[in-house]
Amino acid sequence: MKFTLNWLKQYLDTDKTPAELADKLSLIGLEVEELIDPSETLKPFIVAEVLDAKPHPDADKLQVLSVSIGEGEPLQVVCGAPNAKKGLKGILARPGDMIPAFGEKIKKAKVRGVESCGMMCSMRELQLGQDHDGIIELDANAPVGTSAADVLKYEVVFDAEVTPNRPDYLGVKGIARDLAASGMGTMIDEQFDPVKSSIESVVSLAVADDAKEVCSYIGGIYSEIKRNPVRSGWIGDLLSAVGMNPKNFLVDVTNFMTLDSCRPMHAFDVDKLSGNLTVRQAKEGEKFVGLDGVEYTLTSADTVVADDKGVQLLSGIMGAKSSGCDENTKNVFLIAETLDPVAIRRTARRHNIQSDAKFRFERGVDPASVGYGLSKATHMMNYVCKGEVSGLVEAGAVPSDDRSISYDLKSFKQLIGIDIPSDIAVNILTVLGCDVTGTDVLTVVPPSYRQDLKEVHDITEELIRIWGYDKIVSQTLDINPVVKPVLLPAQTRLFQVKRLLASIGMNEALSWSFVSGKLEEKLIGQTGVRISNPITPDHDVLRQTGLSSLLPFVSSNQARGQLNLQLFECAPIFNGINPGDQEMVVTGVMSGESQEKSWDKREHAVDVMDAKEALFTVLDRLGLSDKVQLVTDELIPGVHPYRSARVLLGKFEIARFGEVHPMIIKDQSIKTGVAFFELFIDRIPLKAKKGTAKQELQTSAFQGVRRDFAFMADEDFKSGDLIKAVKKLNPQLITDVYLFDVYQGEKLNGKKSLAITVVMQPMDKTLTDADIELVAANVMITAEDLGLSLR
């Protein structure tokens, strides 16, 4: 909502500065987002007189002016405005001055080879209006050399954010009322004499039965006017100051009423109507061409004002192109309606129409303002247009308003925590327009323009916002010692995983939950949840794999020259369209070298084993690295078929790791291989908290034994199977099995050699040679069962 200081001052007698008013408004509920006070920005610009104007030697449309600023030598200025001529007084911007419309300082420059020491300004360049046809022309007696701030007419403009509960703020008068209640001035009573009726209306009004729920009341006044001015003077100026283009006087008056009193109304050109007007529901498929020139196909849920020919107004939203007023209108029928907000909102949404009237009606226009609005608008029109005016014609009835709130001042203390003195409370509510009786228990009858005041807490809010939140003496909450951890167990686990991954050198990234459907399709062979209104075409689905977020990061980082990456993210993936279909995943990607090239040769090109190492560091921490099963050699979309695995815990896939398929790498313009892991952490049951006390340590008094074995195996043999089988042989005795060598070479004819160390740690006796030989024999039998032979 935009309004000007002068407009506000029509209703508020105040000596406060614009900044003070803006601050107060922000505190009481109308947040002023911008205050445009041109007096500051206009200061450096000065009045200059054109002493001479010559054609530019090299450009037809330019002139070279010699301008005086009252002192010093005349300045040479190149100017393209058609109206620049000798003797004109205008506004000069000199090098260093900030041009408001450009947000830039102007510089001394050569224009087509001729030096220019400044610029003669248009209204638009100074952000004082839309006029850019030429430079500003001042009165002949404007004093040369004085500041533009002293000679130009300008408006101080407020731009404020109106919350949906306060439609009364959508009229300048409502804003003035709140400022008066907040001690920023006094309300100026509006005084005008209603125009006396002298003729009968030639148009009558009716509300059809089917429209009564939407339109409870409609009123109209008919005028036969004598004058219809082309320009609408101060009204037009006010409208343009707040960004609304003036149309013609009659329409401008209705627009003024919309912005001034939040009272939208409509003016029909009676000569374009046929017959009387009826408020009714539209017929299914009925056509309507709005003022915007667009043809709308209406439905029976839309409420319209129609004459014998058809729809002339989409109620509360927009008039018809065919019957609007213009500068030739002689007979005017002005109407105003009381409408149901939800119905208006639905119709506007259905046809996707925005209008100032709709914006107000859907929030709630004062249901009792029809008569006032018609009377004031008629007064304003008649003041200029003269002529004859009818009495009020109407249909339906002003809806009854029996709100009366019993307000015990104790309820203020109960909710806010402090007492409010009765006289202050009564005063605030009274200035806000309520009828108030009583002292400790108040009976509050709110005004018709504050339909938002219905309940006790509505009144509490009015009192504290006007009295001031700074009156509240703060208190702290009682604290009960917290025994339970503050974080949910799953949260704690996730924080720990994050710290663990960062501690092994990975960088935590954060991405958007929506990703490119195309990429996801390539990565997992399907796209799940689509967004109806994506923010960009590349963010059209909710991800089902963290890779869809992190691969583009690899690509963008590599494009910036960062090839070696170790990124991870903990974020939700979405398996369905409903709440609860999401799960947390921990995704990691690695690319390039493990680290910078170094003299000690620690670097290596990262591959699937690096991803596995990171994943198993986490699984180890979760106590699972020995409990999981790997499923390998599967053809899964998006990944290297022979360098990827799924990790099962029981029946559930809890993780996967591998290398991204080279086709996708190529497609994403990634310059190195990418290894990844993805941990579906929510699928892992949370361990019951066992407390911090640990089982008593049992140390063995007997010597441990290590024995090494080397086996020959087929190339495809999974070494993990050997380790698992050996560990299983005698878990009490065999405490560890380490694979210490893998050798594959031409000499081995497609076989490979695996070498393991078996660690035996007896708890109750020293192992005899026979004991050790027995274990060794069992190890060899186990290996043979797996198809291995001793090397």
Partner 1 sequence: MSINVDQIKNDIMAATSVADVEELRVSLLGKKGQLTLAMKELSGLDPEARKEAGKQLNEQKQEVAVAIDSKKAELELIEMNAQLEKDKIDLTLPVNQGKKSGTLHPITRAMMELSAIFANMGFEMAEGPDVEDDWHNFTALNIPEWHPARDMRDSFFIEGAETILRTETSAVQVRKMEKDGAPVRIFCPGRVYRVDLDATHAPIFHQCEGLVIGDSVTMAHLIGTLQSFLKSFFEVEQAPIRMRQHHFPFTEPSIEIDVDLGNGKWMEVLGAGMVNPKVLENCGVDSSKYQGFAFGMGIDRLAMLKYGIKDLRKMSDGDVRWLRHYGYAPVEMPSKTEGLS
Residues from 165 through 194 that contact partner 1 (CB under 8 A):
165-166
Q: Which of residues 324-343 bind partner 1 (CB under 8 A)?
A: 341-342
Q: Which of 541, 568, 571, 544 is nearest to 554 (CA)?
A: 568
Q: Which of 131, 276, 256 is nearest to 201 (CA)?
A: 276
Residue 738, SS3? strand
669 is a contact residue toward partner 1 (CB under 8 A): no
Q: Which of residues 185-244 bind partner 1 (CB under 8 A)?
A: none
The token pair that represents 538 in the structure block: 């590349």
Sheet with 205-207, edge to edge strand ranges: 205-207, 277-281, 303-306, 311-314, 318-319
103 is a contact residue toward partner 1 (CB under 8 A): no
Asked whether 90 and 50 are in contact (CB, 8 A), the reply is yes
Can you name the residues that pair with 713 across neighbouring β-strands?
752
Smallest distance, partner 1 to C-beta of residue 408, A:
14
When binding is defined by CB under 8 A, the residue of 71, 139, 295, 470 that contacts partner 1 is 470
Smallest distance, partner 1 to C-beta of residue 364, A:
9
Strands 31-36 vs 46-56: parallel, antiparallel or unpaired: unpaired
Q: How many CB atoms lie within 10 A of CB 379?
A: 15
Closer CB to partner 1, residue 53 or residue 500? 500
- Residue span 399-438 as binding mask against partner 1, x where in contact by CB under 8 A, dash where not: ---------------xxxxx--------------------
Asked whether 99 and 150 are in contact (CB, 8 A), the reply is no
Q: How many whole angstroms separate alpha carbon 357 and alpha carbon 55?
A: 50
Which residues, including other chains, have CB under 8 Å from residue 420's CB and lie 6 or more apart? 409, 412, 413, 463, 464, 467
Q: Which of residues 431-460 bind partner 1 (CB under 8 A)?
A: 455, 457-458, 460
Instruction: Tell me the CA distances in angstroms from 285 to 282, 307, 472, one per residue in order.
Output: 8, 17, 57
671 is a contact residue toward partner 1 (CB under 8 A): no
Which residues, including other chains, have CB under 8 Å from residue 402's CB and lie 6 or more apart? none
73 is a contact residue toward partner 1 (CB under 8 A): no
Closer CB to partner 1, residue 514 or residue 657? 514
When binding is defined by CB under 8 A, the residue of 59, 289, 405, 500 that contacts partner 1 is 500
Closer CB to partner 1, residue 554 or residue 737? 554
The token pair that represents 179 in the structure block: 């400022």
Q: Which of residues 30-49 bind partner 1 (CB under 8 A)?
A: 31
Closer CB to partner 1, residue 119 or residue 614? 614
Closer CB to partner 1, residue 303 or residue 323? 303
- Residue span 595-614 as binding mask against partner 1, x where in contact by CB under 8 A, dash where not: xxxxxx-xx-----------
Q: How many whole angstroms separate alpha carbon 507 and alpha carbon 586?
A: 13
Q: How many CB atoms lie within 10 A of CB 532?
A: 5
Smallest distance, partner 1 to C-beta of residue 443, A:
21
When binding is defined by CB under 8 A, the residue of 5, 181, 426, 565 that contacts partner 1 is 565
Q: Which range in 129-137, 289-297, 564-572, 718-726 contacts partner 1 by CB under 8 A?
A: 564-572
Closer CB to partner 1, residue 55 or residue 576? 576
Smallest distance, partner 1 to C-beta of residue 138, A:
36
Closer CB to partner 1, residue 467 or residue 711? 467
- Residue span 508-537 as binding mask against partner 1, x where in contact by CB under 8 A, dash where not: xxxxxxx--------------xxxxxxxx-
When binding is defined by CB under 8 A, the residue of 19, 577, 763, 774 that contacts partner 1 is 577
Q: How many whole angstroms separate alpha carbon 118 and alpha carbon 100?
A: 15
How many residues line the site for partner 1 (CB under 8 A)?
Answer: 99
Q: Which of residues 7-26 bind partner 1 (CB under 8 A)?
A: 26
What letter does residue 202 receive in the DSSP assignment? S
Asked whether 183 and 128 are in contact (CB, 8 A), the reply is no
- The rounded radius of gyration (Å) of the Cα atoms in the chain is 40
Asked whether 370 and 204 are in contact (CB, 8 A), the reply is no
When binding is defined by CB under 8 A, the residue of 49, 362, 366, 659 that contacts partner 1 is 362
Residue 289, SS3? strand
Asked whether 564 and 593 are in contact (CB, 8 A), the reply is yes
The token pair that represents 752 in the structure block: 């490979």
Q: Which of residues 283-302 bind partner 1 (CB under 8 A)?
A: none
Smallest distance, partner 1 to C-beta of residue 703, A:
31
Smallest distance, partner 1 to C-beta of residue 533, A:
6
Closer CB to partner 1, residue 278 or residue 587? 587
Smallest distance, partner 1 to C-beta of residue 261, A:
19
